[in-house]
Amino acid sequence: MCFKIKVRGIYATALTKLLLDAGFGIVDPSLEVKKRLNLEYAIYEEPDAYIMQDDKDPSRILVEGDGEACRALIDTLRREIPCIAVFESKFNPYSIYLAKVVAGIDEGILVDIGGVYGLLVGASRNYSVGEKVLVQIQSPCWGGIPKLSDNIVLRGKFTRISQGFGIEFDPRIKSEEVKKDLVRLIERIGLKGFKVYFSAYSMGRSIADIAMDLSDLASKYLRICREPSEGDAPRIIEHGIKAFLVEFTSVSKVKLDEIRSSTTPTIEGHHSFKCYEDLGRIVDFTEYLIARGFDRKMLSDMVKGYIYRSIGLGSKMDFMHVTLTGKVLKLRPGTVKFFDGRSMIVRRVFTGKGVYDGLNIPISSGDVCYTVIEDGSWFIRHIYLSQGELKGEYVNVNTPPEIFPGIVRYLDLAVDVVKTPDGDIRVLDLDELEKFLSEGVVGRDLYEFALAKAREAENRLKSGWKPIDEILRYVESI
C-alpha cells in the first residue's frame, strides 16, 4: 500500500527524497522541495501521516497519523538512516475516553481513564467526584500522566468540528466565493452547536464530498456525546492516532546530509548546523557558494573551523545529555580548559551532595570533574577528583557528540564503564540497553554499536588509554 506523507521542517528535502525513493506518496510539498526534486505534480489531500520538526528540539521529528502508515514510515527510517532513536507516545493523541472524576487538584481535575489517571486542564465547567466526563488527549504524551480536554474535536478528511459556534478557514483558502459556498453548505446541512474548520484539503473538492464529511463527523459527535448517559466509565471510546518522536543523532544527520546533497548543494554538517540557531545564515551562504562552483569540502572545513574557533578557553560549556527514555537532561556545566578542534577538556566543579552514578561514591562539595570529549568519538570520559585525589573514572558510551559554542549534545546509549580508584573495572546497565532494544527505542545497529564501544572502553581502561596523570598535568599547567 502506498501511504501518503506530508513533510515539513529542516529535514524536508532529505526525507522527501528518501520517502519518494521508498515508494511513499508526498502530500503538499513546499515550493522549495518541489523545485529541488523536480516534482511536476503533487498530491493535495489528507495525508496518512505527518512528519514535522519538533518545535522544542530541532534534532527531532514528530511523526503522527494512521497506525499502519506510521509503522511503515518508522520502519523505512530505521532501514535507511543509521543510529536513530524512536520514542512512541504512551497515549494516542485525539483518543476519546469516558472518564470518571477522581479529585480536583491545583493543576486541574484528576480523572480515571481506565486504570490510569489523566489531568483534565481548563475544564469547561465544574465536575463532581465520581461524575462521568468525556475527555480527549490533545497531544502526544512521552511520560507522566496525559493532559486532557473536555472540548472534543473530531477530524475528518476535509474538516474539523467541535462544540461551539463559528466557522474558520485554512489561510490558504483565499477565495471569498469559495468561503461563501462553504458557509451556505453549513446552513443547508443545518449544523447547529458546532464550530467548523475547513482545512486546505477542502479546496478543489466537490460540495457533495465536503457535505458527506461534515455529516459523518456531526453524526459521530452526537453519538459520542450520548456516552455519559448510556455507557459505563472509565473506558476508551475512540483510539485516536499514533505518534512517535524520532531522534536524529550526529551519525543520522551525516546520512541525511548525503541524501540532501544528491538533490541540492549541501554543506557537510548541514543538518547539525541547522539545529544551532545562530548558524542558519552561514549555512545558507556557504551553500550559495557551493552552487556557484566553490569547493564543497573546503567550504565545509572552513565553516567547521570557524565554529570551533568560536569556542574559547574559559568559556562555559553545557551538556545536553539525551537519554533513551526520551528525556533531555542538562548536566552540570563547566569551563573549557583545552580545545584543539579534536579533543576538548571541560572542568566541572560540584557544590552539592549526592552519589556519583555507577561509582557509588559520595559527592563532596568542591569535587572536580575533568570531562574529556573527542570529536567523532563514541565515548565521553569523566575523571572525578577530590582535593587532588582520584575518586574514579566514568566512561559514558554515547553517539559522537555535536560540539557548538556553549553546547555539547549526544545520545546516551545507557551502557557505561567505570573504574574505581583501586582499579576495579565494570560495565554497567547492559540490561537497560537490552530493554530499549526490545521496546524498539533503538534498532539493532545502535545496540551493536553500544555493545562494541562498551567493550572497547573497558579494554582501553585496562590498558592503553591516555594516563590520567598526563591529562591532569597538562590541564593544570594551562
For position 342, which CATH number holds?
2.40.380.10
pLDDT band at 475 (very low <50, low <70, confident <90, very high): low
Domain boundary among 240, 274, 289: 240
Residue 424 reports pLDDT greater than 80: yes
Domain residues for the domain of 155 are 96-240
pTM for the structure as a whole: 0.91
Q: pLDDT per residue over 293-333, tens digit each?
A: 999 999 999 999 999 999 999 999 999 999 999 999 999 99
Asked if 344 and 201 sit in the same domain, the reply is: no
In a domain, 256, yes or no: no
User: Which residues have CB under 8 Å from 80's CB, separation 6+?
Assistant: 18, 22, 255
Residue 103 reports pLDDT greater than 70: yes
478 with 344: CB under 8 angstroms?
A: no
In a domain, 417, yes or no: yes
Q: pLDDT per residue over 15-44, tens digit each?
A: 999 999 999 999 999 999 999 999 887 777
Please, which residues bridge with residue 370 across strands?
A: 347, 383
Asked if 67 and 146 sit in the same domain, the reply is: no
Mean pLDDT across 127-140: 94
82: cis peptide before it, omega within 30°? no
What is the total count of domains within the chain? Answer: 4
In a domain, 260, yes or no: no
Asked if 122 and 159 sit in the same domain, the reply is: yes
CA 124 to chain centre: 31
Please, which residues bridge with residue 245 across strands?
A: 62, 87
In a domain, 259, yes or no: no
Instruction: Name which residue leads in pLDDT, 472 or 186.
Output: 186
pLDDT in the model for residue 73: 97
Asked if 157 and 181 sit in the same domain, the reply is: yes
pLDDT in the model for residue 212: 94
CB atoms inside a 10 Å sphere around CB 162? 18
Which run of H or E residues covers position 105?
strand 96-105
pLDDT in the model for residue 146: 95
Asked if 71 and 156 sit in the same domain, the reply is: no
Kindly calculate the radius of gyration of the chain based on its CA atoms and give it in whole angstroms: 27
High-pLDDT (> 90) share of the chain, %: 78
All cell numbers assigned to 201: 484539503
Instruction: Name which residue leads in pLDDT, 371 or 473.
Output: 371
Asked if 325 and 473 sit in the same domain, the reply is: yes
In a domain, 257, yes or no: no
Asked if 388 and 455 sit in the same domain, the reply is: yes
pLDDT in the model for residue 1: 62
Asked if 224 and 304 sit in the same domain, the reply is: no
The C-alpha angle 398, 404, 408, rounded to 5 degrees, equals 30
CA 106 to chain centre: 29
CA–CA gap between residue 74 and residue 403 (Å, rounded) = 28
Instruction: Name which residue leads in pLDDT, 358 or 215.
Output: 215
Asked if 100 and 85 sit in the same domain, the reply is: no
Highest mean pLDDT: which of 61-70, 272-281, 355-364?
Answer: 61-70
Asked if 203 and 140 sit in the same domain, the reply is: yes
In angstroms, the first-to-last Cα distance of the chain is 62
pLDDT band at 193 (very low <50, low <70, confident <90, very high): confident
In a domain, 174, yes or no: yes
Asked if 290 and 323 sit in the same domain, the reply is: no
Asked if 294 and 328 sit in the same domain, the reply is: no
